[in-house]
Amino acid sequence: MTDTDRRASFTTFEESTAEDWALIAPQLNITQSMVADRVIGLLNDLRFDHGGFPVDRLEHSLQTATRAERDGRDDEYVFCALIHDIGDTLSPFNHPEIAAGIIKPFVSEANHWMVQHHGIFQGYYFWHHLGMDRDTREQFRDSEHFEYTEEFCAKYDQTAFDADYTSNPLEHYEPLIRQFLRG
């Protein structure tokens, strides 16, 4: 039996031992090493859902990232622009929290906040068409990241539904994904 085949023997955390955790802890790095591939897979899955939008969800993510990259944003920002809607097909009403949870350990507070709150800020552009308050984002006006997030939505997110736009392919961003999610 190899070390990777061995398992802890507890049935509750309360009865776990230091030896159990000596087996488990190294596995966290192995699991983290698979995250980039899983994220790339989730991004690829976005191509199968357009949700009624003019472009599929992957193309929207690629357009957002490509627009940010072509505008000279740094790698971390471009990575966040790419990942921001990764949770759309898992939980549409809570998708910003999913993306924010994935990136939190790896990005700045400003970029994490931007991804976490972009859904409310994006609402400015269409919520009034659904009978909702487009100014809901104003509750965050005192945040030091308000204008940063407002700009992300204005320049990159809400503009990324153009079926004629030529985006960089997902493969272009794979090294960036691996760079930030290597753990």
Q: What are the pLDDT digits (tens) for 55-103? A: 999 999 999 999 999 999 999 999 999 999 999 988 888 999 999 999 9
Domain borders along the chain are 35-181
Looking at residue 6, its pLDDT comes to: 85
Quick one: CA dihedral 92, 94, 98, 103, positive or negative? positive
Give the rounded percent of residues in the chain with a pLDDT score beyond 70.
Answer: 97
Q: Are 35 and 134 in contact (CB under 8 A)?
A: no
Average pLDDT over residues 16-42: 91
The CATH homologous superfamily of the domain defined by 35-181? Hypothetical protein af1432 (1.10.3210.10)
Residue 167 CA to residue 65 CA, distance in Å, equals: 8
Pure H helices in 129-169: 146-152
Which residue shows structure tokens 């990159």? 156
At 113, list the tokens.
């906040």
Looking at residue 33, its pLDDT comes to: 87
Residue 148 CA to residue 146 CA, distance in Å, equals: 5
Is the pLDDT at 11 greater than 90, yes or no? yes
Residue 101 CA to residue 112 CA, distance in Å, equals: 9
